[in-house]
């Protein structure tokens, strides 16, 4: 009897020991998972008047943007609207590719169409993936081209750690960003397009007879919050970019990798409460340089062509002077994308220089699919022709080159833009384009003619003080 009881007790002790071991193991697993999630989280708060970083945590760590991606899609849409290429009433036709995007979506069938404004509102509120794809295809010809435009624009805005692969933010291991870059984009959207920024404050909109409510729970809850965008995938966690303006101070804050919609919102609310009072009430002008727009072909050229192929003055004149340096995660509406996603990884991305005479950072290089996209884009390019009128009327002597482009219309547009930026400097100058061929491709230099070397160099130095890159050249 005693032996039997002893055996039972021994087995019970062994079982208890095993249970304790398993419980301890589970504790380590849970702790490891929590640590992994904490490592994935990132946040930043920037004073949108002074540019000062008020708070930073893993701000430059590579993260998946999820639907924060749509901020860049909207940036390019606003740019196209501002340039007159599209209007809020332009039709956005849904291709089979756009119509097939998974939820969250508006649900437009293949061949159906909505207005640009409806597409914008559906992206801001519902975070509609199908609308984002359709709008990207409208602006870029196809989604792959548009993704390259997005990346090129990111570099032009100073977003050094971001690569885009699609217009909506659904999982793609090659698409990534940083909290700092998303803050830069958030600031740029308000600074560059104040006429459209109010879209981000929309809490709902009517689509037919249906009212579609937004995901941004801080609108109307936290005083001063006027946008911008939420995002979620399993790989990214819960993301949010918020712009806050109390009438005196303004900040942009980013939270990436929240454990739930509620905890993300609470973290953002705490950041706003803590750091908005610390922001400056004085501003120093625009913080993000406004990058000029471009066609899909120009954007692709920025990505693929090496810098040595960039059109530049043939040579500097002898004796030139040196340049002057001048809250409930169970709410279904917060779960924007529900497709299976890959585990978070660190994509390996090569870099290449960008083609442009203005200063632009390097951008991610091409994969095999990207090269194929570039070949498709080449087929869209306009025939390389030389305008006999412009060519015949090129002023002789000295000129200041401000930019160049594979399309004459874009070179002319850059001349017009520069003239508007520096009217006093270029009041007496003659703007013109010069065509030349390099490696079988025709480019167009955008130049201003001057009567003497001294006048050209004086003008170029004045332009550089306005942050406009240029060269003086004898032609």
As annotated, the active-site residues are: 67, 70, 127
Residue 64 DSSP label: -
Q: Is-contact 210 129, C-beta < 8 A?
A: no
* Burial (0-12, 13-18, 19+ Cβ within 10 Å), 250: buried
Helix (H/G/I), strand (E/B), else coil: 213:
strand
The whole-angstrom separation of Cα 7 and Cα 383 is 92
What helix, strand, coil percent values describe the chain, rounded to 5?
40, 20, 40
b/e for 421-453, b at 16 or more Cβ within 10 A?
A: ebeebbeebebbbbbeeeeeebbbbbbbbbeeb
The whole-angstrom separation of Cα 133 and Cα 129 is 6
- What is the full DSSP assignment across 343-393? PP------EE----SS----EE---HHHHHHHHHHHHHSPP----HHHHHT
CB atoms within 10 A of CB 386: 15
Helix (H/G/I), strand (E/B), else coil: 250:
strand
Strand duo 441-450 + 430-438: pairing: antiparallel
């Amino acid at each position: 009897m005693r032996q039997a009881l002893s055996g039972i007790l021994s087995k019970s002790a062994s079982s208890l020991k095993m249970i304790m071991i398993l419980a301890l193991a589970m504790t380590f697993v849970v702790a490891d998972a929590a640590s992994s999630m904490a490592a994935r989280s990132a946040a930043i708060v920037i004073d949108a008047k002074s540019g000062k970083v008020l708070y930073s945590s893993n701000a430059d760590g590579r993260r998946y943007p999820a639907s924060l991606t749509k901020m860049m899609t909207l940036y390019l849409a606003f740019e196209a609207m501002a340039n007159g290429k599209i209007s809020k009433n332009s039709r956005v036709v849904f291709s089979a590719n756009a119509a097939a995007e998974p939820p969250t979506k508006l649900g437009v069938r293949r061949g159906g169409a909505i207005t640009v404004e409806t597409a914008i509102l559906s992206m801001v509120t519902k975070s509609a993936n199908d609308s984002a794809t359709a709008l990207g295809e409208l602006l870029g010809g196809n989604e792959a081209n548009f993704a390259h435009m997005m990346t090129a624009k990111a570099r032009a805005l100073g977003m050094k750690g971001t690569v885009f692969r699609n217009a909506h933010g659904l999982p793609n291991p090659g698409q990534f960003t940083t909290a700092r870059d998303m803050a830069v984009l958030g600031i740029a959207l308000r600074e560059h397009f104040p006429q459209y920024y109010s879209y981000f404050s929309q809490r709902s909109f009517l689509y037919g007879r249906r009212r579609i409510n937004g995901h941004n729970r801080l609108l109307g809850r936290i005083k001063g919050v006027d946008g911008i965008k939420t995002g979620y995938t399993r790989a990214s966690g819960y993301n949010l970019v918020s712009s806050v303006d109390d009438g005196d101070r303004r900040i942009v804050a980013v939270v990436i990798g929240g454990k739930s919609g509620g905890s993300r919102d609470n973290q953002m609310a705490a950041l706003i409460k803590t750091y908005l009072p610390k922001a400056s009430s004085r501003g120093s002008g625009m913080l993000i340089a406004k990058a000029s727009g471009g066609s899909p072909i120009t954007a692709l050229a920025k990505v693929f062509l090496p810098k040595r192929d960039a059109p530049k003055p043939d040579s500097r004149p002898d004796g030139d002077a040196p340049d002057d340096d001048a809250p409930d995660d169970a709410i279904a509406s917060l779960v924007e994308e529900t497709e299976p996603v890959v585990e978070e990884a660190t994509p390996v991305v090569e870099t290449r220089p960008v083609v442009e005479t203005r200063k632009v950072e390097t951008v991610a290089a091409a994969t095999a699919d990207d090269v194929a996209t570039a070949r498709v884009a080449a087929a869209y390019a306009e025939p390389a022709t030389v305008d006999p009128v412009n060519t015949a009327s090129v002023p002789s002597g000295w000129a200041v080159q401000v930019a160049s482009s594979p399309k004459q219309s874009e070179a002319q547009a850059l001349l017009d833009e520069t003239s508007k930026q520096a009217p006093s400097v270029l009041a007496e100058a003659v703007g013109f384009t010069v065509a030349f061929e390099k490696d079988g491709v025709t480019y167009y230099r955008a130049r201003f003619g001057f009567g003497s070397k001294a006048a050209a160099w004086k003008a170029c130095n004045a332009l550089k003080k306005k942050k406009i890159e240029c060269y003086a050249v004898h032609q």
